[in-house]
Amino acid sequence: MKIWPINYLFLLISGFTVICVTSVEEELSDTFHVNFLEPLKNLSPQRVKVRGVHAKFSLRKPALPDDDMCYIVPGKEESLGKCSFNTTAKTFLVIHGWTVSGLFESWVAKLVAALYSREKDANVIVVDWLNTAQNHYALAAQSTQKVGQEVAHFIDWIEEMTNIPLDKLHLIGYNLGAHVAGFAGSYANNKVGRITGLDPAGPDFEGVHAHQRLSPDDAVFVDVLHTFSRGSLGLSIGIEQPVGHVDIYPNGGSFQPGCNLQGALKKVANLGLLAMNEAIRCEHERSVHLFIDSLLNEEEASKAYRCASSDMFNRGMCLKCRKDRCNTVGYDARRIRRARSIKMFTKTRAAMPFRVHHYQLKIRFQVQTNQSETEPTITVSLYGTNGSVTNFQLDVKGKITPNKTHSFLLVTEEDIGDLQMMKMRMEDSSRRPVSSLISTAWSWWNGDSSCSEIKAKKISIRTGETQKKMMFCLKESKKASLSPEVTFVKCTAWGKSCRR
């Protein structure tokens, strides 16, 4: 077997932290189907022998989140006192993933500091299994079970020595570390309170039995963030299937804003495949930074919405929060009691704070005459009490059909406050106003404002973050000329009149 593809894979998720803040990229071309992980199939667990796996447990301090000053050693009770372990506070185990450099990645210290900023009296313990994690991926992946057993032994010992309630124990694992956390939870004598999986590793774990990976059985509550699970490209570093009680897929769980994976692809011809390293790390590691963001920006935590598919979410069809259909992304996520895993979706910005505001626009293009389907460009502007977002192009999936209600998702990075007015413009593919479509789709623009036409003049808008639902009516203009842009204002009476 050739060695260079495996060495390249090391570099894909190397030890250099990259926080990308470039402009939001376009969707990656579906013609790129190179499977970078194909060589791993030749490294089956039966052909690899695991030796000498050892995990160390460093209790880090708020003042020095990046230094290992004190190790708690199972079997040595005096190490608990030496490290000032707080028996009444929450305890976090931070578990890193696959590495190449043999060093901790910089996100570890950032996560430690963020945990202490939120839980000042907590014990934040970094699980160090670097000696094994820096091996070939297949060996490191196979070692997760053994490392998990050692972490479980540590949990059992510390519970016995300190009588800490395990509902205060929270394991946070990234990449392979998420599966280490899962094995630890399954092997521990008593069930731990929570496991958070940050983009759990996909290769060697996708599609396997629940006992061979992170699963909902491993803790009272298992929540997962999926940020790089683009399985259709053969480039899925993170696991795609749901593996927790709540599985959240920011931006569909595939491409994250600001990571510019498409830009990296354009550089491959000149710089080689290594040009993709930073972009891939940005996608994969975004899960960690979303969790850190939720700790540091508690008041601006992102909200996720339960939905059957990413496509339905992108049409704005899943913004209702009734019956536990919403959850908070990151640290404040809550368990939803259901028999099976719950898939949830959200949109984010390209940089911290990641929270955005979601709006569903439901528009019925009702006409009285026969009108064929059309594919226009629809641009809207929203005006609120705190600001506005203008010239936002709606994602028209398919054709616009008259006499049918269409749903759209609109996302703003800023909070524009309570909506007051909306403007809409329709153009054809050549960017010319669609006069015929306007005159048909808005047949009421001819001055007929009878209440029998009211339903055709309304647009329903739901705000995901506040759950407010508003109706907007066409602004009256008795002698208005035909225009490609029309204005809607809040309806002052529900279903009776649209007069202001």
Summarised one tens digit per residue, pLDDT across range 269-320 is 565 555 567 778 889 999 999 999 999 999 989 999 999 999 999 999 999 9
pLDDT of 347 > 90? The answer is yes
Residue 384 pLDDT grade (very low, low, confident, very high; cuts 50, 70, 90): very high
Q: What phi, psi does 85 have (nearest 5°)?
A: -70, 125
33 vs 245, which has greater pLDDT?
245
50-54, 141-145, 168-172, 273-277: range with lowest mean pLDDT: 273-277
With tokens 């700790």, the residue in question is 295
What is the Rg, in whole angstroms, of the alpha carbon atoms belonging to the chain?
26
Peptide bond into 5 cis (omega under 30): no
225-239, 241-255, 270-284: range with lowest mean pLDDT: 270-284
Contact 314/249 with Cβ under 8 angstroms?
Answer: no
Structure confidence by residue, pLDDT tens digits, 96-117:
999 988 889 999 999 999 999 9
Residues 6+ apart with CB under 8 A from 205: 141, 179, 212, 213, 214, 239
Binding positions for Ca(2+) are 213, 218
Distance of CA 459 to the CA centre of its chain: 29
Residues in the chain: 500
Structure confidence by residue, pLDDT tens digits, 146-205:
999 999 999 999 999 999 999 999 999 999 999 999 999 999 999 999 999 999 999 999
pLDDT of 484 > 80? The answer is no
Contact 276/39 with Cβ under 8 angstroms?
Answer: no
8-22, 140-154, 404-418, 457-471: range with lowest mean pLDDT: 8-22
pLDDT of 401 > 50? The answer is yes
pLDDT of residue 425: 85
Helix (H) or strand (E) holding 304: strand 303-306
Q: Stretch 473-495: mean pLDDT, rounded?
A: 68
pLDDT of residue 187: 98
DSSP codes, 322-377:
GGGTEEESSTT------SS-EEEEE---SSSS---EEEEEEEE---SS----B--E
Residue 260 pLDDT grade (very low, low, confident, very high; cuts 50, 70, 90): confident
pLDDT of 28 > 50? The answer is no
Distance of CA 490 to the CA centre of its chain: 33
Give dist(CA 59, CA 82) in Å, integer: 10
What sections of 345-470 are H helices per DSSP? 435-441
Contact 442/363 with Cβ under 8 angstroms?
Answer: no
Give dist(CA 360, CA 407) in Å, integer: 7
pLDDT of residue 34: 37
pLDDT of residue 265: 62
Helix (H) or strand (E) holding 419: strand 419-427
pLDDT of 375 > 50? The answer is yes
Residue 491 pLDDT grade (very low, low, confident, very high; cuts 50, 70, 90): confident
Q: Stretch 335-340: mean pLDDT, rounded?
A: 76
Binding positions are 213, 218
pLDDT of residue 406: 86
pLDDT of residue 281: 86
Q: What phi, psi does 277 have (nearest 5°)?
A: -55, -55
pLDDT of residue 479: 42
Residues 6+ apart with CB under 8 A from 225: 196, 197, 198, 199, 248, 250, 287, 290, 291, 329, 330
Determine the residue type at 225: L
> What sign for the dihedral angle of Cα 226, 227, 231, 232?
positive
216-220, 241-245, 338-342, 413-417: range with lowest mean pLDDT: 338-342
| CA-closest candidate to residue 94, choices 188, 206, 186, 175 | 175
Q: Stretch 430-442: mean pLDDT, rounded?
A: 48
339 vs 446, which has greater pLDDT?
339
pLDDT of residue 125: 98
pLDDT of residue 404: 80
pLDDT of residue 52: 64
Residue 450 pLDDT grade (very low, low, confident, very high; cuts 50, 70, 90): very low
**Chain mean pLDDT for the chain:** 81
| CA-closest candidate to residue 331, choices 122, 43, 44, 53 | 122
| CA-closest candidate to residue 19, choices 304, 270, 356, 256 | 256
pLDDT of residue 72: 97
Residue 45 pLDDT grade (very low, low, confident, very high; cuts 50, 70, 90): very low
Percentage of residues in the chain having pLDDT higher than 90: 59
pLDDT of residue 266: 61
Query: Would you call 421 helix, strand, or coil by DSSP?
Result: strand
pLDDT of residue 276: 61
